[in-house]
C-alpha cells in the first residue's frame, strides 16, 4: 500500500501546476520570514483563506513550502540587520551579522541557504524512511488515546512555553472552551448560540488563527518604530565559497539537522528552541569556542540546519496525532482540517498519497531553497528595508478580508478582531499563544474523541487507564504536569 501511495504521490507532485505552488510557497515563505514581525505562522495564517479554491494537495503543498521558505527567510534579516525574521533564526544573528560586518554577507546568506536546504532535506527524508513505523504506531490509537494525546500535547506546550505553567494551562483550556460554542459533536445540543445563526457552526479556527497571529502581532509591531534596517551592510562576499564551506562541515549539518528534528517533534518547542540548542552544541564541540559570536561560519550553519531540520520533526505529531509542534504547524493543521484532511489514521491509510505528496514537495522545496536563496537573495535582502507602517495596513487588510472570506459571516470578522486584541495582551503578559491556538484547533477533535470514548465505556472514565497505551499516556500527562514541581522537592530530600 505504501509503495503504491508513494508512486501516486510522485506523479501528483510532478504534475503541473503543483511544482509552481512549491515555488510560490517557498518565495512567499522567504518574504514572510525575511520581514521581522511577520514570520511563518502569520504569513501562513493570512494565506490560508486564499487556499480555499485550491485542491487539498496543492493547498497543503503551498503551506508546507511557505513554512520551509520562512525558516530560511528568517536568516536574511538576521544576517543583514541583526534582527531575526523568525524566532528560529535568533541564533543566526550571533555569527551571521558579524560575518556581514566583515564583508562576508553573501557567504553567510549562501551558508544559510545551503545549511537550511541540507538540514531540511535530511529531516524530511528521515521522516519518509520512518513513516512505515509511524503508520503502525498511529493505527494502534483509538478514541481514548487520541483524546489523551490532545491533552498530552497541551500539557507539553505549557511546560515548554515561556512563563508560568498555570498561565499556559489557562490559555490552552480557554482555547478549548471557545470551541464549545455551536452545535455539540455527536448531539443536537446548541451551546452558547443564543439564537444567532452565525454561531451555530461555532468559532472558525482559521479566524482564530488570523486574529491570534496577524492582528495581535500587528498591534505589537505598530508600537515599534518605523524602519527595520538602516541599510549599512554591503552585500559583498562569494556565493560559491559560502556553499563550499557549508558542505565541508557535514558533521555539523547532520548533528544540527537531527537536533532540530528531535526538538521539532516535541510539541511547543519548535525552531526557537532548536536553533539555540544546535548552536550551543556546535560551540561545545568546537576546538575554538571563543570564535563563536565573532563571525564563525559554524554558528550560522548549525543554527540554520537545525531550524529547517525542525520541520520534519514537527510534522510527526502534527500529522500523526493532530498535535502541532509550533505556531506554523498549528496553521498547517488548520489548513489540513479546512481541506477535509484529518490527522491520524486517515492520513496514513486512505490519504497516504497526500501525506507522501507534501513530504516529497518539501524535499523538492529544499533544492529550490538553494536555487532561490543563492540566485535571488540580493533582491530579497531589500525586503529588510521596508517600513513597518507599509507592512501593517496591508497585513490588516489581508486579515480582515480573509476573515470575512471564510464563511461570508460577520462572526468571523468579530472573532478575528476580539481574539487579536486578546492575543495582543496574552503576548505582552507571557501567556502562551501557541497553547491557546492549539486549544482552538484541537478542541473539536478532543471533544469528539472524549464523547466517543465515554459512549464506548458507558460513561466510565476507566477507559483512559485500562489499556496499556492509554495508561502510559495518562501517566505521561501526570508526570509532565506534576514533575516540574515534585522534582526539586525530591532532589532536595535526596540531597
Partner 1 sequence: MSRKSLYRRLSERFDQERVLLIVLILGSGFALVETFRFDISAAARFPRLTGSVVFVGALLIFFSKYLPEGLRAVVEESAGVFEADEDFEKRQQKAEEQQQAGADTAQTDRNEFSTVGRPIHDSVFTALVITGYAAVGFAIGILWATPLFVVAYGYWFKQPWHLTGVLAVIGFAIAFGFMSVLGVPLDRGEIFLTSGVF
Contacts to partner 1 from residues 366-425, by CB under 8 A: 388-390, 392-394, 396-398, 400-402, 404-405, 408, 410, 413-414, 417, 420-422, 424-425
- State the nearest-atom distance from the C-beta of 390 to partner 1, in Å: 7
The CB density around residue 193, as the number of other CB atoms within 10 Å, is 15
433 binds partner 1 (CB under 8 A): no
Residue among 9, 63, 90, 138 that touches partner 1 (CB under 8 A): 90
- State the nearest-atom distance from the C-beta of 303 to partner 1, in Å: 11
- State the nearest-atom distance from the C-beta of 352 to partner 1, in Å: 30
- State the nearest-atom distance from the C-beta of 388 to partner 1, in Å: 8
54 binds partner 1 (CB under 8 A): no
Q: Binding pattern to partner 1, positions 259-298, x when CB under 8 A?
A: ----------x---x--xx--x------------x-----
C-alpha cell at 325: 509542534
Distances (CA, A) of 129 to 281, 377, 477: 26, 32, 29
- State the nearest-atom distance from the C-beta of 96 to partner 1, in Å: 11
Distance CA 180, CA 405 (A): 23
52 binds partner 1 (CB under 8 A): yes
Residues numbered 97 to 116 that lie near partner 1 (CB under 8 A) are none
Size of the site for partner 1 (CB under 8 A): 93
Residue among 164, 196, 236, 248 that touches partner 1 (CB under 8 A): 164
Residue among 99, 165, 298, 333 that touches partner 1 (CB under 8 A): 165
Residue among 134, 198, 220, 286 that touches partner 1 (CB under 8 A): 220
Q: Indicate if the alpha-carbon torsion angle 464, 443, 272, 165 is positive or negative.
A: negative
Q: Which of 214, 219, 217 is nearest to 398 (CA)?
A: 214
- Residue 79 in contact with residue 236, Cβ under 8 Å? no
83 binds partner 1 (CB under 8 A): yes
C-alpha cell at 455: 459512549
167-187: burial string, b at 16+ Cβ within 10 Å, e else:
bbbbbbebbbebbebbeebee
Residues numbered 173 to 212 that lie near partner 1 (CB under 8 A) are 173-174, 176-177, 180, 184, 186-189, 191-192
Chain centroid to Cα 420, Å, comes to 19
317 binds partner 1 (CB under 8 A): no
End-to-end alpha carbon distance in the chain: 55
93-121: burial string, b at 16+ Cβ within 10 Å, e else:
bbbbbbbbeeebbbbbbbbbbbbbbbbbb
Amino acid at each position: 500500500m505504501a509503495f503504491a501511495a508513494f508512486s501516486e504521490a510522485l506523479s501528483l507532485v510532478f504534475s503541473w501546476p503543483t511544482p509552481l505552488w512549491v515555488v510560490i510557497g517557498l518565495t512567499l515563505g522567504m518574504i514572510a520570514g525575511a520581514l521581522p514581525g511577520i514570520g511563518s505562522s502569520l504569513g501562513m495564517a493570512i494565506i490560508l483563506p486564499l487556499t480555499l479554491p485550491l485542491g487539498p494537495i496543492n493547498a497543503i503543498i503551498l503551506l508546507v513550502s511557505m513554512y520551509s521558505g520562512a525558516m530560511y527567510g528568517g536568516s536574511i534579516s538576521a544576517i543583514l540587520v541583526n534582527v531575526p525574521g523568525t524566532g528560529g533564526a535568533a541564533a543566526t544573528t550571533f555569527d551571521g551579522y558579524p560575518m556581514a560586518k566583515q564583508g562576508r554577507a553573501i557567504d553567510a546568506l549562501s551558508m544559510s541557504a545551503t545549511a537550511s536546504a541540507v538540514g531540511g532535506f535530511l529531516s524530511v527524508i528521515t521522516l519518509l524512511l520512518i513513516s512505515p513505523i509511524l503508520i503502525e504506531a498511529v493505527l494502534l490509537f483509538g478514541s481514548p488515546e487520541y483524546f489523551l494525546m490532545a491533552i498530552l500535547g497541551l500539557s507539553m506546550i505549557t511546560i515548554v512555553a515561556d512563563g508560568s505553567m498555570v498561565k499556559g494551562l489557562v490559555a490552552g483550556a480557554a482555547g478549548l472552551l471557545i470551541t464549545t460554542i455551536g452545535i455539540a459533536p455527536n448531539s443536537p445540543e446548541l451551546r452558547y448560540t443564543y439564537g444567532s445563526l452565525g454561531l451555530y457552526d461555532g468559532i472558525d479556527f482559521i479566524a482564530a488563527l488570523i486574529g491570534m497571529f496577524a492582528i495581535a502581532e500587528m498591534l505589537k509591531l505598530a508600537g515599534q518604530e518605523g524602519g527595520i534596517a538602516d541599510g549599512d551592510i554591503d552585500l559583498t562576499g562569494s556565493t560559491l565559497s559560502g556553499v563550499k564551506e557549508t558542505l565541508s562541515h557535514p558533521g555539523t549539518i547532520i548533528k544540527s539537522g537531527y537536533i532540530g528534528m528531535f526538538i521539532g517533534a516535541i510539541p511547543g518547542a519548535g525552531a526557537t528552541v532548536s536553533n539555540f540548542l544546535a548552536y550551543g552544541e556546535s560551540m561545545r564541540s568546537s576546538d575554538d569556542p571563543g570564535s563563536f559570536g565573532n563571525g564563525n561560519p559554524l554558528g550560522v550553519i548549525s543554527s540554520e540546519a537545525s531550524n529547517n531540520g525542525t520541520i520534519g520533526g514537527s510534522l510527526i505529531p502534527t500529522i500523526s496525532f493532530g498535535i502541532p509542534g509550533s505556531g506554523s504547524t498549528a496553521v498547517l493543521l488548520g489548513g489540513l482540517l479546512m481541506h477535509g484532511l484529518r490527522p491520524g489514521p486517515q492520513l496514513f491509510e486512505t490519504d497516504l498519497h497526500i501525506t507522501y505528496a507534501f513530504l516529497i514537495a518539501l524535499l523538492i522545496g529544499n533544492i529550490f531553497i538553494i536555487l532561490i536563496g543563492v540566485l535571488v537573495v540580493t533582491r530579497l535582502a531589500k525586503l529588510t528595508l521596508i517600513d513597518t507602517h507599509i507592512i501593517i495596513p496591508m497585513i490588516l487588510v489581508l486579515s480582515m478580508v480573509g476573515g470575512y472570506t471564510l464563511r461570508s459571516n460577520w462572526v468571523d470578522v468579530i472573532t478575528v478582531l476580539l481574539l487579536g486584541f486578546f492575543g495582543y495582551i496574552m503576548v505582552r503578559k507571557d501567556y502562551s499563544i501557541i497553547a491557546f491556538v492549539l486549544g482552538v484547533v484541537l478542541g473539536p477533535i478532543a471533544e469528539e474523541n472524549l464523547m466517543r470514548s465515554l459512549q464506548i465505556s458507558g460513561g466510565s472514565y476507566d477507559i483512559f487507564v485500562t489499556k496499556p497505551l492509554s495508561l502510559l499516556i495518562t501517566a505521561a500527562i501526570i508526570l509532565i504536569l506534576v514533575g516540574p514541581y515534585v522534582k526539586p522537592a525530591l532532589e532536595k530530600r535526596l540531597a
